Structure 1
């Protein structure tokens, strides 16, 4: 009986092979299929980072705002996805013409066909992955940039602000810098190295967060009359830790996925290794520095160190050797800790340290290739030149610095102007009463933790 069953199973397994032997795929078809599946998986990993942001930000803010902070992640990713499909994708990767290196134009309302992709998005022609998968992957990236920006709005911005600024960031701000570097724009012509987006994604999002933080002003009770900051701890470090773990995992879609290929002698695995080394170094460094500084090992500082290192290695992961990835992560974790302390003392109330983690680390990561870009990896990627420590002189460092400076100034001025107009016309911030009450109840009518909150007179307070 066993022999009969074994024979039947063998025939069933063999049948597709014999029946479709004439349609056996070619190596080229197999490569496209493998690359497409890999980029699709990477896109899903990057989209799943939204879960990490939701947990990290909710855990890092107060209980009375937890539902709002987590819920707006879904809302804003939805707004971002629709706006990027309609206009943002075409502005970022569309053909601007030989005379125009500032912005793309064309391919709006992408229909998912290969014909439109080939005609409208020449900067994406280097990969045979279907255009619809590339679109999904790039949508995930702009969604991350927008999630970073929201860190500067936390616990005091009106819900309506998320609708309007989310739309404008996706269509008016993000596409310019993304086109300059990834869409065949003028910084790409100069050889700007930003493999997965330390500048395009993280610095843009962090700069918008900084503009919002400055215009919204500090949260109630953050500073005393003498300007000394008070600690406003997040309500759940466990959620924050889980959020960072999810983000760390998601980064293996972010960086290795930017190869747009798995059929490349395992190069995506090399990038994953660099990414992991940097993250580990950043987290350990930040924890040790906080221990020396505070006399206690601070968990939020460690989490920020991990994220800062991941941000920094995002630009350089394909251009540097593993030893350099370790150094980049180590420096990023340390820099983020000290800049976070400085900004807080300077009166900048950045609830989740978005600018320190994503901005300062984004700057360092973007500059790092100017120091550490290895000749063999530069030749492999075909972008820019080797770094200073490999005898390349200051050329690549200068290109990186120019890209960082121009991108920061452009995004900050535009984001500040948009938010300033919004502040004067519709207002950015909830009332003092609503802020004290908490945005869960004032904006949504229910609490994220209803059993943990009670009414005390006219105020709602956390138990």
Structure 2
């Protein structure tokens, strides 16, 4: 995603100006003054119409893209509900709707201004964000057209991205973290941590000034969420019974692969808004063509991630693992997110396929370190996000490997260290982890008192 400053209205107006200038050239010198005045008067409404049209289409792109990315919240909820055991489904659903609501509030209270308003090198201002001026007459209309889009639509589109980062943390820490400590972390992540690293990049801060390139957020959104999840997983520890005393890994199957698959398809669909609307403009033919190309590359990368995971699990384990295949799709999507416009079809397929391979190889690697990631979010969002950001210079000549590495390391270190500090403070004050008894009984009953599948409970 670029810094949210649009040029589409200017492009449209410039094109109309050029056309008007050409048609206004007088056939005879003696008619020049009179002809120019007449043409200027006739062209004025056309200039306004071009700017209005660009404004409408740019705003519509933000809103439609925001709708699709908001729908990804449902995808995360369904994916997590399918990947956890039946006794922990209701709490995962509760966490997902709660984190989306908290993200929406915190991004208005402080997050957006911190990320985009008067950003210096590191962050913006600490204040609630103000939307469009009220009314559409006179100076207000001119102020709106100056931006080229509705500022409220921009805020909405940016807000759903921060909710995505928080959803990544939810899946990793499932089945053993208590509800309120998790939500306390979400407040800090969505209100402060994510906006600060976002200000460094999309807000025009120091990484942006260096030339760091991350079109729709492989690192800025996905790796940041992955680093926050990794810090929490290390401090929280693994689920009881996940790792035996002899070092072996005990599989803990999810409850519903139907829901997990539905969630993956919803996320896949939502990603077209995630990547496509990050073009940030739809006021010209060129913008519309670029958005179409982004859609095609996004789909190709996801498909390649699926096939790569499908084939590799068959080779390594002699049978296909549906959870790896689902995460292969998501890893392909995360991988192409850093640069979905510049690659050709073959490059998009290769980028997505490597993402699928990363998932299959990274999951057992985490198990060796006894890092328990319930849904595989760290391989998908952190590792594939790093890969996608590193590979940008292969297809985008404006990016450099050195700058990409600096951006990855800087955002990674900041988020990991800051998240550790926040998680540690929460752990030392109100605690993080459910008791062994509550974990055994399931957090649906222990934390919220509502079971997702009560007819399957003992004694019913």
Aligned to 2:62: 39
Alpha-carbon separation, structure 1, partners of 2:75 and 2:253: 19
Where 2:300 maps in the other structure, the secondary structure is helix
Alpha-carbon separation, structure 2, partners of 1:415 and 1:114: 37
TM-score (norm 1): 0.84
Return the offset for 1:455. 4.2
1:423-438 counterparts in 2 under 5 A? 423-438=427-442
Moved more, 364-373 or 197-206: 364-373
Aligned to 1:66: 89
1:242-287 Cα distance to aligned partner (Å, 9 max, x none): 0000000000000001112223422111111110110000011011
Where 2:294 maps in the other structure, the secondary structure is helix
Aligned to 1:255: 275
Aligned to 1:207: 227
1:245-394 counterparts in 2 under 5 A? 245-264=265-284, 265=286, 266-373=289-396, 375=397, 384-385=398-399
The answer for unaligned runs of 5 or more in structure 2 is 1-43, 135-143
Contact 1:114 1:130 in 2 (8 A): no
Contact 1:55 1:240 in 2 (8 A): yes
Return the offset for 1:125. 10
Aligned to 1:381: none
Q: How many residues align structurally?
A: 404
Aligned to 2:244: 224
Give yes or no for the alignment of 1:105 onto 2:116.
no
Return the offset for 1:23. 8.7
Tell me the C-alpha RMSD between the 2 structures.
1.8
Alpha-carbon separation, structure 1, partners of 2:368 and 2:346: 34
Where 2:391 maps in the other structure, the secondary structure is helix
Give yes or no for the alignment of 1:193 onto 2:205.
no
Where 1:113 maps in the other structure, the secondary structure is coil
Aligned to 1:398: 402
Return the offset for 1:152. 2.4
Contact 1:129 1:260 in 2 (8 A): no
Distance change >3 Å, CA 432–CA 125, structure 1 → 2: farther
Moved more, 442-451 or 30-39: 30-39
Contact 2:51 2:145 in 1 (8 A): no
Where 1:26 maps in the other structure, the secondary structure is helix
Aligned to 1:151: 171
Where 1:255 maps in the other structure, the secondary structure is helix
The answer for unaligned runs of 5 or more in structure 1 is 1-21, 116-123, 376-383, 386-395, 457-463
1:371-412 Cα distance to aligned partner (Å, 9 max, x none): 232x4xxxxxxxx34xxxxxxxxxx01111110011111100
Return the offset for 1:90. 0.4
Contact 1:279 1:307 in 2 (8 A): yes
Moved more, 154-163 or 58-67: 154-163
Alpha-carbon separation, structure 2, partners of 1:277 and 1:177: 29
Aligned to 1:388: none
Contact 1:50 1:147 in 2 (8 A): yes
Contact 2:51 2:148 in 1 (8 A): no
Where 2:238 maps in the other structure, the secondary structure is coil
Distance change >3 Å, CA 410–CA 175, structure 1 → 2: same
Alpha-carbon separation, structure 1, partners of 2:431 and 2:171: 18
Contact 1:114 1:131 in 2 (8 A): no
Where 1:454 maps in the other structure, the secondary structure is coil
**1:163 aligns with one of 175, 183, 205:** 183
**2:116 aligns with one of 85, 93, 105:** 93
